[in-house]
Structure 1
């Protein structure tokens, strides 16, 4: 999930919030199951779940596992494994620094620790995590039902072993206000809106149409940078290849489109995660937002709860993903067996996954669960006026290419966005000057990378 954003909604009563945004069709028979036998896990356990005893320490940068009821569900199946959740906020990289220093020391620390998509590769490419491909874990046997990109991001680049797994997938799309679509486009039907934005060029034309028909009142986006994740997802080359910085042509196209959106007045000039940005989710002038799966329940559902029924969801011009949480077993753990039960339960137990999807609206990393919810009313979403969001998510996630992402991405993406803002705001004179500054930022962060 978006780093640090859970701080905001962790303080809220999630059960109340989810009443408007959770997936409907919640049946008590699934939500109350606690069986974690071999029929619901990809591999059978050597002993019954109740026979596992001990305490495991789990480190995270937030309290997501507690707030979303994940630990509670695990403890219904494994009542004798106590989970001690330690939250270390990642402000100024405090969490990642703590993990690195603790793991480098070689002793102590967590039994299981979590990693966000932004830096999961930094951890999986070290020996901080156990090699889950090897016995007794044999995780390769568990991945056939998982979304491929999620497995790719959890692999060590050198030996291709699995070091971390995730229970969720986070493809992104476009959430739009039906009321604006109906008034200025003549329809609020997701199928019709999707046809209007099959390419980023079409998407910008849609913004121009909204501007013209509303006499400039309606903005396509809150901010031009809503498109950056779409651009990143559209690449054919990652940021780093063979130790060299690579700037995919799609990123330069994004640069031009961002400038066009701002120049033509198609965005509201709001920065993401600011009060103005979240406030615009309830206004009558901002058309929509590029957000991933978790954006439905934990952004729109939190910041615009009264907009229930006023939003629709469609594919973005290009598949992309944003966020997600991976977990693995610390090499220093003295509770590896119990830790593996925790990791395995969260990432393979279909009873847990169905309950989590229905209770909290999470998009689960299991193709069978995805198929079940996307083909029935169980995938319908009240916040989206009954639209089967699982069906759209299931199609979106097929286009995400996890092989594009590297351990350098978080830092390079941050540098890119910073320099783009300076260019758009006129503080950088030209694209050539922009590229020079961006490359200098990369060299400063990673002196060993080759930069032309």
Structure 2
């Protein structure tokens, strides 16, 4: 199950009105030349935001920064910095390829570019981004209010320097339909439902209960593979350690869990991002969905707007994250000072963070904003019948270990999911055959990784 962010942002324009309702309250210095001829960033210690002038070219695979009003908020504070957003869709990895080729060439590139969680490690480990740990950026001092896993994902794995930051955190949990819970489980109270799914095994038993009490009409999940991110989040070891492939025991457990869910008829056999999957969000037979923070306004809110008040949110058996957007200053930029103003503003400015949370329902990467919204009515969510989802999100992020994630994850996760699908539908005969095929895919993609 790959997190398809393109699907999310294809719907952003339509989401503006819906997202707004999701949360109820909710001196100067002279630039010097580097050896490459680009302008080095200056401290700007004596400059006010209005003193910065010029144009910042930003590359992304979508128009998120515009659609979510982020550029507009930035320009209210920095009125004389023009932002030129260039969108390069990532179909067939076109965006990733464009960034790689342009950065390798060293000319004609952006000043700032975005990276999705699936490939942010690839960019940070290739020196595509400026080292933000060094002066004049000094980003390490700015991270105390950020969620730790988000900082880890933006680090270079070699020298541990910070290369990219993000304004959001994306912990995931389980969104379920209150109407189904009340009819077949006797309660729709999140606290009560939470007790029924403290472990993945309990969660599967909950599906069995729904099946029995509904005579097979209610399915626990739209598709078995909604559990894969929970399995990934529950690991104690990442996919690659010391150049060797590691298959954590939690991933082996997931094979059995996925097989059981499908064989016992606990899922609706829908594939994510298909019309059947999104359509099931407003049916009376699919209990719920494993989704991250953005899944609330941009998936449920878009595809099931009439279900307002019928959904509730609880923790998954294990904390996990799904998706997210990082950005940094291009190491080839000639506007590094200006570029840093943009990156710094949207990843550290608390006024921006709070406004973005209330306007768009985003879960912001700032612990002070999280604390404020999780402890006041500002965090109450109308779509979730007034539930303070910010409070649950804030608890979830504490259990996410960013050190588990590597630059290889996107490719290895895709290989794993592809082979699991073949096993589940019977095109792979056994777990042993599955492992052979999965390992072969890893070797084919990364010949240098040692595979037992």
Q: Counterpart of 2:58 in 1: which secondary structure?
A: strand
Residues 64-83 of structure 1: matches in 2 within 5 Å? 64-83=64-83
Task: Give distance in 1, aligned partners of 2:148 and 2:20.
Answer: 31
- CA offset at residue 254 of structure 1? 0.3
Distance change >3 Å, CA 388–CA 44, structure 1 → 2? farther
Q: Counterpart of 2:365 in 1: which secondary structure?
A: coil
Distance change >3 Å, CA 403–CA 381, structure 1 → 2? same
Q: Counterpart of 2:331 in 1: which secondary structure?
A: coil
TM-score normalized by the length of structure 2: 0.95
Q: Counterpart of 1:365 in 2: which secondary structure?
A: coil
Q: Is the 8 A contact 1:6 1:64 kept in 2?
A: no
Q: Counterpart of 2:6 in 1: which secondary structure?
A: coil
Task: Give distance in 2, aligned partners of 1:291 and 1:149.
Answer: 18
Q: Is the 8 A contact 1:63 1:87 kept in 2?
A: yes
Partner of 2:33: none
TM-score normalized by the length of structure 1: 0.95
Q: Is the 8 A contact 1:174 1:291 kept in 2?
A: yes
Q: Counterpart of 1:155 in 2: which secondary structure?
A: coil
Task: Give distance in 1, aligned partners of 2:368 and 2:111.
Answer: 30
Asked if 1:15 is matched to 2:16, the reply is: yes
Task: Give distance in 2, aligned partners of 1:44 and 1:98.
Answer: 31
Residues 184-333 of structure 1: matches in 2 within 5 Å? 184-333=184-333
Partner of 1:446: 446
Task: Give distance in 2, aligned partners of 1:424 and 1:236.
Answer: 25
What are the Cα deviations for residues 177-215 of structure 1, in whole angstroms up to 9, with x where unaligned?
000000000000000000000000000000000000000
Task: Give distance in 2, aligned partners of 1:254 and 1:316.
Answer: 14
- CA offset at residue 10 of structure 1? 3.1
Task: Give distance in 1, aligned partners of 2:108 and 2:253.
Answer: 47
- CA offset at residue 107 of structure 1? 1.7
Q: Is the 8 A contact 1:2 1:324 kept in 2?
A: no
Residue segments in structure 1 that go unaligned for 5+ positions in a row? 27-42
Task: Give distance in 2, aligned partners of 1:394 and 1:136.
Answer: 31
Q: Is the 8 A contact 2:9 2:64 kept in 1?
A: no
Q: Counterpart of 2:277 in 1: which secondary structure?
A: helix
Task: Give distance in 2, aligned partners of 1:53 and 1:44.
Answer: 12
Residues 318-357 of structure 1: matches in 2 within 5 Å? 318-357=318-357
Task: Give distance in 2, aligned partners of 1:18 and 1:293.
Answer: 12
Partner of 1:145: 145
- CA offset at residue 25 of structure 1? 1.5
- CA offset at residue 109 of structure 1? 0.5
Task: Give distance in 2, aligned partners of 1:325 and 1:134.
Answer: 22
What are the Cα deviations for residues 19-57 of structure 1, in whole angstroms up to 9, with x where unaligned?
44x21115xxxxxxxxxxxxxxxx984310001000000
Partner of 1:371: 371
Q: What is the aligned residue count?
A: 434
Task: Give distance in 2, aligned partners of 1:373 and 1:252.
Answer: 38
Q: Is the 8 A contact 2:375 2:391 kept in 1?
A: yes
- CA offset at residue 17 of structure 1? 1.8
What are the Cα deviations for residues 206-248 of structure 1, in whole angstroms up to 9, with x where unaligned?
0000000000000000000000000000000000000110000
- CA offset at residue 11 of structure 1? 4.0
Q: Is the 8 A contact 2:167 2:347 kept in 1?
A: yes
Distance change >3 Å, CA 74–CA 362, structure 1 → 2? same
Q: Is the 8 A contact 1:175 1:289 kept in 2?
A: yes
- CA offset at residue 6 of structure 1? 3.4
Task: Give distance in 2, aligned partners of 1:367 and 1:23.
Answer: 18
Task: Give distance in 1, aligned partners of 2:326 and 2:314.
Answer: 26
Q: Counterpart of 2:197 in 1: which secondary structure?
A: coil
Residues 87-102 of structure 1: matches in 2 within 5 Å? 87-102=87-102
- CA offset at residue 126 of structure 1? 1.0
RMSD across aligned positions (CA): 1.1
Q: Is the 8 A contact 1:210 1:218 kept in 2?
A: yes
- CA offset at residue 3 of structure 1? 2.2
- CA offset at residue 7 of structure 1? 4.1
